[in-house]
């Protein structure tokens, strides 16, 4: 029998730079085909800067979420390769964890360390028979990698003593202001009749459940107690373009960010440089956070990558970690020490940086009218406050572009069970995961935003910076299907 033939041998999600969004894949080959077990090994090299694994303190690490797409010969469509849960080859110094659903694998340091992490001869075992391929199939393969951060299992607090708007608190309207304590994934009863119970405060008067509502958050709804991986950075323009360029033309038409009111093709608008007029899209600033992502766009990206949206409880775990809550705190752990960037160095380049002394967030901006490079405030010598980093080392959870989350403030979203994407979209380019907010109809296409809100603030947030607070929920239950210049996204995945 003929062996699987690889026609194009590599691809990367991100850019091979020494800055943020800095992951690269190279030297990809298919080898060691086993026609008895119907597998072949996708072999490649992987490298990213600013990697770490901590053995003290947070005791967490960053990782690469690696997945494979293939295109059958003569087809215009890309499909998600199903990996085996075991049998992968990790180079010395690395560890590989692959979930049972075969959507990809996490690659990370096997011991404490930091700096550039460069690996050769990683081998992921592809179960090509699970994709319906025969031994002699001709395919084109692309390997993608996304930088993620491991958030360990553990208890945490959601809320900041009723300091921020709509923040989670215990008790009733007249007494306790303690934050919710999340100590398991068990069912949460939200009621205003038990003095020591959970209480719900509406973030704003726009949408969602009202203040004092009583409801049940089932055990299947992800609360943040269980371990998960979160994208280290917000989706960048480069990542969006890499995703977009694997889609069919009908799917691209649905997910085209360059068309619509106020935005023209091939024009830069609020620092968005993505261009598409047919064929492949391009961007002039691949490391810049991607704006104009509505909920359907965000869900499609997460589904395609085998990831999922985060809940707003997971958002607070991603910012605060296991630390005590602080009133009005930002992602870096206090309610002070915040400075907006107002001037840039090397604007638009891979080494774009702040030219504002002590700047650690992008908000309230009358000067920089749009998103900046992801991870821009972190340097080799910066601490958590200076980098604007969360407890776990996740970047820009306060400011730059809004984070889209599954809100607690809608009855319909309580059915969200944290199901991961299957790597495939509907023919029209929509995510099609039944329990995700906005899924409708027999095909489960995510066409709405019912239950998807906002957390974390953006570059457009007012100079008072209240939007940027870790527990601020003023827009947490605001349904919007718009593509706005400060709407971004990052995805997560439950740890295997």
Q: Whole-prediction pTM value?
A: 0.95
Hey, is 45 helix, strand or coil?
strand
DSSP bridge pairs for 70: 79, 141
Lookup: tokens for 335: 């309610």
3-state helix, strand, coil in the chain (%, to 5): 10, 25, 65
**The CA-based dihedral angle spanning residues 443, 449, 453, 454, taken in that order and rounded to the nearest 10 degrees:** 100
Q: How confident is the model at residue 441 (pLDDT cuts 50, 70, 90)?
A: confident
- Give the E-state strand segments of 329-466 in sequence order: 344-345, 353-354, 403-406, 439-440, 445-446, 452-455
Q: What's the CA angle centered on 163, arms 158 and 167, to 5 degrees?
A: 40
Quote the Cα angle for 445-74-446, to 5°: 5
Bridge partners of 348? none
Q: Is residue 5's pLDDT more than 80?
A: no
Return the number of other C-beta atoms located less than 10 Å from residue 315's C-beta: 28
Q: 150 is written with which tokens?
A: 């491991």
Q: d(Cα 399, Cα 331) in Å, to the nearest integer?
A: 9
Q: Mind listing the pLDDT tens digit for each residue in 167-192?
A: 999 887 666 889 999 999 999 999 87
Q: Write down the domain spans for the chain.
A: 5-151, 154-496
Query: Dihedral angle at the C-alpha atoms of 62, 159, 314, 433, nearest 10 degrees?
Result: -150
CB-CB contact of 432 with 425 (8 Å): yes
**pLDDT greater than 70 at residue 2:** no
**Confidence check: pLDDT of 258 > 60:** yes
Burial of 335 (0-12, 13-18, 19+ CB in 10 A): middle
Q: 59: how many CB neighbours lie within 10 A of its CB?
A: 11
Query: 240 near 487, Cβ under 8 Å?
Result: no
Mean of the pLDDT values across residues 125-151?
A: 97
Q: What percent of the chain has pLDDT over 70?
A: 92
The reported pLDDT for the residue numbered 237 is 96
- Burial class (CB within 10 angstroms; exposed 0-12, middle 13-18, buried 19+) of 178: middle
Residues 52 and 63: beta-carbon distance below 8 Å: no
Mean pLDDT, all residues of the chain:
91
Residue 196 clears pLDDT 80, i.e. is over it: no
Q: Which residues pair with 190 in a beta bridge?
A: 198, 215
3-class SS at 119? strand
- Distance from C-alpha of 238 to C-alpha of 310, rounded to nearest angstrom: 22
Range 134-156 average pLDDT: 97
Q: What percent of the chain has pLDDT over 90?
A: 84
84: nearest Cα among 103, 66, 71 = 103
Q: Which helix (H) or strand (E) holds 237?
A: helix 237-244
**pLDDT average, residue stretch 459-467:** 96
Distance CA 457, CA 460 (A): 8
Q: Which pLDDT value is given to residue 215? A: 94
Range with lowest mean pLDDT among 8-22, 100-114, 403-417: 8-22
- The per-residue pLDDT for 66 is 98
- 154-496, which class in CATH? alpha beta
Q: Each residue of 353-381: pLDDT tens digit?
A: 999 999 999 999 878 999 999 999 998 88
Of 158, 50, 170, nearest in space to 114 by CA: 50
Confidence of residue 328 (pLDDT cuts 50, 70, 90): very high
Closest CA to 186 of 146, 220, 140: 220
Structure tokens at 127: 């179960």
Mean pLDDT of the 49-73 span: 95
Calpha distance 179→160 (Å, rounded): 6
pLDDT in the model for residue 297: 97
80 closest CA partner among 141, 125, 28: 141
pLDDT given for residue 9 in this prediction? 40
Element (H, E) at 260: none
How many C-alpha atoms does 225 have within 13 Å on its Cβ side? Answer: 14
Q: Residue 13 pLDDT more than 50?
A: no
Does residue 412 carry a pLDDT above 80?
Answer: yes
């Amino acid at each position: 029998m003929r062996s699987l033939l690889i026609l194009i041998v590599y691809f990367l999600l991100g850019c091979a730079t020494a800055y943020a969004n800095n992951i690269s894949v190279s030297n990809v080959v298919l080898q060691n085909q086993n026609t008895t077990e119907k597998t072949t090994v996708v072999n490649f090299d992987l490298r990213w800067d600013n990697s770490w694994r901590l053995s003290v303190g947070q005791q967490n690490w960053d990782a690469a979420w690696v997945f494979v797409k293939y295109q059958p010969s003569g087809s215009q469509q890309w499909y998600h390769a199903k990996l085996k849960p075991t049998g992968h080859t990790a180079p010395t110094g690395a560890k590989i964890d692959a979930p049972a659903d075969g959507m990809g694998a996490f690659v990370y340091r096997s011991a404490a360390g930091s700096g550039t992490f460069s690996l050769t001869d990683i081998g992921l075992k592809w179960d090509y028979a699970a994709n319906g391929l025969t031994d002699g199939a001709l395919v084109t393969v692309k390997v993608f990698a996304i930088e993620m951060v491991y958030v360990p299992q553990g208890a945490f607090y959601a809320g900041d003593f009723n300091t921020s708007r709509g923040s989670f608190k215990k008790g009733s309207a007249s007494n306790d202001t303690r934050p919710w304590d999340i100590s398991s994934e068990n069912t949460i009863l939200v009621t205003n009749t038990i003095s020591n119970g959970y209480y719900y405060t509406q973030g704003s008067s726009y949408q969602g459940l009202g203040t004092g509502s009583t409801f049940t958050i089932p055990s299947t709804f992800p609360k943040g107690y269980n371990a998960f991986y979160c994208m280290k950075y917000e989706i960048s323009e480069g990542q969006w373009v890499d995703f977009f360029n694997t889609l069919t033309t009908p799917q691209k038409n649905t997910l085209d960010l360059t068309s619509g009111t106020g935005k023209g093709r091939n024009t830069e608008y609020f620092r968005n440089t993505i261009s598409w007029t047919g064929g492949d899209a391009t961007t002039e600033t691949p490391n810049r956070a991607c704006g104009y992502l509505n909920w359907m766009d965000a869900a499609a990206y997460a589904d395609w990558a085998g990831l999922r949206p985060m809940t707003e409880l997971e958002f607070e775990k991603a910012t605060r970690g296991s630390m005590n809550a602080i009133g009005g705190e930002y992602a870096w752990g206090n309610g002070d020490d915040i400075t907006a960037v107002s001037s840039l160095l090397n604007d638009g380049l891979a080494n774009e940086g702040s030219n504002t002394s002590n700047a650690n967030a992008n908000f309230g901006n009358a000067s920089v009218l749009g998103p900046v490079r992801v991870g821009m405030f972190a340097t080799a010598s910066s601490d958590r406050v200076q980098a604007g980093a969360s407890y776990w080392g996740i970047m820009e959870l306060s400011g730059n572009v809004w984070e889209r989350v599954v809100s607690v403030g809608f009855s319909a979203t309580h059915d969200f069970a944290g199901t991961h994407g299957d790597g495939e979209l509907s023919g029209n380019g929509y995510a099609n995961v039944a329990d995700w907010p906005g899924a409708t109809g027999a095909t489960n296409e995510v066409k709405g935003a019912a239950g998807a809100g906002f957390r974390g603030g953006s570059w457009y947030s007012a100079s008072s910076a209240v939007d940027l607070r870790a527990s601020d929920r003023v827009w947490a239950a605001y349904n919007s299907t718009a593509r706005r210049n400060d709407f971004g996204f990052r995805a997560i995945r439950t740890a295997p």
